[in-house]
Structure 1
Amino acid sequence: MNRFPALLSVIALIFAVLACSDGTVATPQAASPTSLAPVVEPTSQPENPEPAPAILETRRLTLEFPSKMRAGVEGDIIRLKLEVDDLGNITPTAQFEGNTVVGETIQIPDLYETHNVTAEANLDMAGMLIQPADAIYEPLKRGQSATFFWSIRPQEPGIYRGTVWLHLNFEEKSTGEQTRIAVSAQIVEVEAVDFFGLSVNLARTSGVIGAVVGGVIGFPFIEDIIKFLFKRRKTLIFFCKRPRQGNI
């Protein structure tokens, strides 16, 4: 009889708990591994990244040429020099022993590790005898200079204008792919003067005439021949002036 009220109390407690809850029993769930890991967003990468720009090497380009020369009797030299200039200074235009010197700074890609670099120079001047007439090629190394020479000779007096071209040829060592770029185009002007104030053709003709006159004067017995011709001329004049006798 004493256990019955305690049993009723337990049953009443169970119903009270059920009445307070919504009838569902919460079950613990294991945490997923993805919920605990930090979220990392992927960074976008370009499909074809651009190559890094090549380092530029500063060099000084100096052109020297004669401003005046005699036509047909002398030749001269035109010189182009490509040398390293770490300071990037520009050489001012100046006169050196009658020649004109023009300087400028240029910047070229420093690709000596991956490419074979060749400097190509050419002188284009119409009416002038030029040696060599074709382009000149010089291998170019880092920190080393390259110099080009042309021998010129004008045949006629006048003003000769031309252009000195400089190109760089890059050949990739791994693939052999070649690239040619123009670096500089400098104007050259040379004045060819007359020989002793005369044109070249007239000077040559005068020389020939002088040689002939000198040879005649130095010919043996030339004086006797001249006297003989002079006496014969006087005799011819005398007979021409005599009166003619007509028939009576």
Structure 2
Amino acid sequence: MWNKIVWVSAVVLLLSSCSSKKKLLKGADLKAENELTIKDNTREAKKNSLRDLFLTNLNYSTFSGKAKMRLDLGKDNYDVTSTIRIEKDKRIWISISATLGIEVARVLITPDSVQILNKFQSEYMVKPFDYLYRFASPDLTFGNLQDLLLANLSVNLLSDIDQVNFKQDSMSVQLDGKLNELDFLYKLNNNNRPYQFRLAQLSKKQLLEANYGEYAMASGQEFPMLLKMIISDGRQEIKTEINFNKVTFNEPVEMPFSVSSRYKVIR
């Protein structure tokens, strides 16, 4: 599932107001008034708990973030910088720069298409969004990619209340369940924000794990400035670390994306 999508989602994620004075949230800050108590796993209780949890998702119309990234492909490691911009439910735009700030790639993802400009090799790839279904479950949506980047709970994964289970201990709340062939797991901190997300298709030994850390306040919302990802298909493993140094919400964003006539088109 993840073998080739890695190059779309590693370009999506790597490749894939908070300034330099961001306030990191330490243990004492994570005791929030939003802390959830799971009483039981009855249908009504789960429904009420999910309603409360969705209220802690980031509320935004646009997002812009600058980050340093490290991609580990086993024998090869790459350090890059990137700008990630999101117009909710419409577009994800990513610019990737290597040494000396030279832009090497640009990505534009919409609910209908995936476009990648490889500036290093002067190539332009354009595919329909459902191209991803060749390598991932058809349950994967554009919204899931947004949620993965921003540490939001995905509504479609949690839509079947009968397939969702809650667990709670002194440290966290866990949600696990199944959507068709996908098994998922969320682990939430005491502010009900994810610190780990796992998505697996066990029959194919395919796994995506995201770990979120260094939560900070950005535009009055709790955002993880650190994202570590592992993508595995049983044969190869790719690791990505994204360290945001500046993020903003609900400000106008530009997403320039033009293709030179000299680029080779790959369809």
TM-score normalised by the chain length of structure 2:
0.21
Q: Which has the higher Rg, Structure 1 or Structure 2?
A: 1
Higher helix proportion (structure 1 or 2): 1
For CA contacts below 8 A with separation 6 or more, give which structure has more relative contact order: 2
